[in-house]
A and B are shown apart, each in its own frame.
Chain A
Amino acid sequence: MNPATLRYAAAGIGALVLIALPLGLPDYSHYVLSLWALTTIAAIGLNLTFGYVGQISLGQAAFVGIGAYVTALLTTRGWPLLAAYVLAFAACFALGSGLGYPALRARRPLLPFITLAFGTFVFLVFRNEDWLTGGIYGINRVPRPSLFGLSTAAPLGFYYFCLFNLVVVTAAVWWLRRSPWGRAFAALRANPLRAEAVGIDTRLYTLIAIALGAALGGVAGVLYAALLQYVDPTPFSLTMSVSLLLMVVMGGSGRSLGPFLGAAAAVVLPEGLRFAQNYYLLGYALAVILLMAFWPAGLMGLFDRLLTMVMKLSAASAKAPP
């Protein structure tokens, strides 16, 4: 089998596992898996920003929050969820470009600081501007969508809805990476100077990656509002932004599967380690520091190493005389 076929097969098996996984599990696990799926979408967005073009964003939670609040505000007023998708995507794309453009003008890495300041400001808007956001009480009774007459009000139905979103986002990013744009991204990542020399407008491509990363944060926010059916400012803090960034790093920045693994380690794993709940975030951050010291390529890098080792071993045993 060639690597491409193998990859398609693995993707198909992965999708089947994700479809079969919640069957027979209690409702609460459907909630956790939904949260994992939407967190993965936010992390996939950040992986565009950080993994592909090497820009640190410390404001992804703000974009998730904007997506969530846009959804809550629109759907509680009777608008369809599709309108929330469009507005959340467009608003976050525009805001992402609006932050990225000035950040990329300086030669110093300004994006982390500008996104950090943006996240702080947006959090204050959520918390203080009661007339719009309901302040600390938030917005209640966000409706769940129904698709083609199928309601997603039940936890399992909503999980499949999240999974559907995740598949669409993954396919879109997969397509993007294979498009001429994606090749420009890859060239940019491999060698920015050479990319510029062959005529790629590196600043424009970096800006597009930042904006798309922000927009995917908004999409995750749409799902977040519909999952909890309630939004308040608390979750969209700096801690969420940092956690999302650490998930990307943990999984392996720039790797397509990285966000899936990083989000699983951040969202699903602590459910199994209930006793350690209070210390989980602390441990996760410590693990990232250790990864940076010994394994900057993250879990996917570790996986690659193991794979090459296994291949070498099997090749060696094949060559060995019987």
Chain B
Amino acid sequence: MPEVLQLLVAGLATGAVYALAAIGFTLLWQTSQTINFAQGEFVMLPAFIVLLAMNIGLPFPAAILIGVAASLLVLGFLFKQTVVDRISRHGALPLAIATIALGLVIKEGVKDVAGPAALPFPPLGGTSSLAIGAALLPVHSLIAIVVAVAAIAGLQAFLDRTPLGRSIQATAQNPAVARVLGIPVDRMTRYAFLINAALTALASILVTPVYLASFSNGEWLGLCTFVAALAGGLNLRGAIVGGLALGFIDNLAAAFLSATWRGALPLVILIAVALFRPQGLLGRSEEPAA
């Protein structure tokens, strides 16, 4: 029994992080048809900014603030203003290629600056564990679950309850109609990019203690994000369900399968979704193709 509880917590913790990144990925796809192939690197990078800030002597909380602020500026604002706005007029394919290239730029850049070795990253709440019965639950996993769930709930409330949030949702659901209804679609899209940057920064801070900070983290994180978002059906609720489900399955696989077969999971899930439910778990088939 204690193993089950431990697996559950570990699954929820990683799943909630995948969900954060998958929500952001979905928001970008829906509001601006941007398929951000660099999303994994967007989750990898902020942790390194935090480490950099700590290296120059800032305390951990201040370094986190710097990391989030830098993400908002670079991965949100600048990414939208320079890369997306400039290239999307040439079409979706050049933009997709540009984000693929951007992922490589971030990955190689971090490798050149921080080196190829994985660096330890301080976990929120320290390294202690909570004993519940025979189960040992890492405090930082519990904190990760609470923070991620709070962020997701807050975002949902913002998107559902406030006029601004509803305008962003309308833009995500159908940009053309939203424009006709008088919603400033371009501004809403900019907000979506900022939200994505905040989500990936949060995901980065929560997940990096588990994986250590490595320049190549974005590969696996990105793949899991894509799988969660696509299997969920490219909508916000689907991204949450997809992320959590993938977190569970991934942790189960890590416990019971060899590394190779664990690595086969994204492929198996994607092919199964494509064959049996191309619109995704929570997607509706009458949705217009994105």
Contacts and interface: CB of A to CB of B under 8 A. Distances in A.
Interface string A228-247: 00000000001100110110
Interface stretch (B68-76, B94-102, B182-190): B94-102
B226 A116 contact: yes
A107 B284 CA distance: 12
B258 interface: yes
Contact of A110 (B220, B230, B263): B230
Contact of A113 (B101, B107, B227, B258): B227
A144 B266 CA distance: 37
B101 A288 contact: yes
Interface stretch (B7-15, B236-244, B267-275): B267-275
Interface string B228-256: 00100010000000000000000000000
Interface stretch (A256-264, A277-285, A309-317): A277-285
Contact of B270 (A56, A117, A288): A117
B260 A128 contact: yes
B260 A120 contact: no
Contact of A246 (B90, B95, B104, B234): B104
Nearest to A110: B274
B108 A285 contact: yes
A12 interface: no
Contact of A120 (B86, B94, B104, B220): B220
Given A117-B267, A117-B270, A120-B267, A289 B90 contact: no
A19 interface: no
A167 interface: no
Nearest to B279: A106
Contact of A282 (B35, B109, B260, B274): B109
Contacts of B219: 120, 238
B289 interface: yes
Interface string B94-128: 11111011111101110010000000000000000
Contacts of A319: none
Label chain A's interface by main secondary structure: helix
Contacts of B83: 289, 293
B171 to A, nearest CB: 19
Contacts of A239: 104, 107
B259 A124 contact: yes
Interface in A245-294: 245-246, 249, 278-279, 281-282, 285-286, 288-289, 292-293
B87 A108 contact: no
Contacts of A279: 108, 112
A121 B264 contact: yes
Contact of A278 (B86, B90, B112, B279): B112
Contacts of A117: 223, 227, 266-267, 270
Interface in B55-104: 83, 86-87, 90-91, 93-98, 100-104
A182 interface: no
Contacts of B266: 117, 120-121
Most buried by A among B219, B227, B267: B267
Contact of B101 (A58, A118, A125, A246): A246
A285 B105 contact: yes
B100 A102 contact: no
B92 to A, nearest CB: 8
Contacts of A173: none
A109 interface: yes
B105 A125 contact: no
Contacts of B289: 107-108
A103 interface: yes
A129 B263 CA distance: 13
B278 interface: yes
B18 interface: no
A238 B83 CA distance: 22
Interface string A93-115: 00000010011011111101110
B101 A289 contact: yes
A108 B97 contact: no
Nearest to A288: B101
A92 B35 CA distance: 27
A120 to B, nearest CB: 6
B100 A286 contact: no
A138 interface: no
B105 A114 contact: no
A22 interface: no
A56 B103 CA distance: 15
A238 B263 CA distance: 14
A-B residue pairs, 9 tightest by C-beta: A106-B278, A102-B274, A107-B289, A117-B267, A124-B263, A117-B266, A282-B108, A285-B104, A285-B101
24 contacts: A56-B96, A56-B97, A58-B37, A58-B100, A102-B271, A105-B278, A107-B289, A109-B96, A110-B270, A112-B96, A121-B266, A123-B263, A124-B259, A124-B260, A128-B258, A238-B219, A245-B97, A282-B108, A288-B97, A289-B98, A292-B94, A292-B98, A292-B101, A296-B94
Given A245-B100, A289-B105, A292-B97, 10 more contacts: A58-B37, A109-B35, A117-B223, A117-B270, A121-B260, A128-B260, A246-B100, A246-B101, A285-B102, A293-B87
